[in-house]
Amino acid sequence: MRIALYQPEIAGNVGAILRLAACFSVPVDIIMPMGFAFSDAKLKRAAMDYGASAEVTRHANFEAFDEIRRREGRRLVLMSSHASQPLPEVRFQSNDILLMGSESAGVPDAVRDMADLRVRIPMAAGFRSLNIAVSTGIAVAEALRQTGQFPQ
């Protein structure tokens, strides 16, 4: 299982996701460019002392990331508030990559179309979306539960 962040824009969100990744032993792929410097104080504050324990790989662009993903035979699971497949109906595989779009724009149509699955987290009527760090936590926890990969 891996988490991929597509051109993240908010340091605090990435920091929270790195903390989650460290606690659950899930590697993180960051697809550049980012909207802040990786050394940003807000990133470090949100990640706390867990950030250094997260396994992070930065990719120059989506094409570089996707080349490695395909070579490794990993499924790309896009989490999107616009997807039609609800999270409770998805069957995750142990080597899936959960792709989270940028906070303001999600992912481009070409990236969306490459995803093997497009998944949404069901919410109460009238709400648009959850915070990206919260969404990542919900999706990763469900994927780890299904595949028996929670740390012991």
pLDDT in tens, 23-72: 999 999 999 998 877 775 766 776 677 888 889 999 999 999 999 999 99
Q: Give which of 85, 99, 100, 95 is closest to 146, Cα–Cα.
A: 95
* Domains of the chain by residue range: 2-9+24-36+57-147
Fold of 2-9+24-36+57-147: Alpha/beta knot (3.40.1280)
**Sequence-distant (≥ 6) Cβ neighbours of residue 102 within 8 angstroms:** 6, 7, 8, 9, 35
Closest CA to 92 of 112, 119, 68, 130: 119
pLDDT-based confidence at residue 8 (cuts at 50, 70, 90): very high
Please state which of the ranges 49-58, 83-92, 113-122 shows the lowest mean pLDDT. 49-58
CB 10 within 8 A of CB 35: yes
pLDDT at 126: 95
pLDDT for 48 equals 72
CA-based torsion, 26, 31, 35, 40: positive or negative? positive
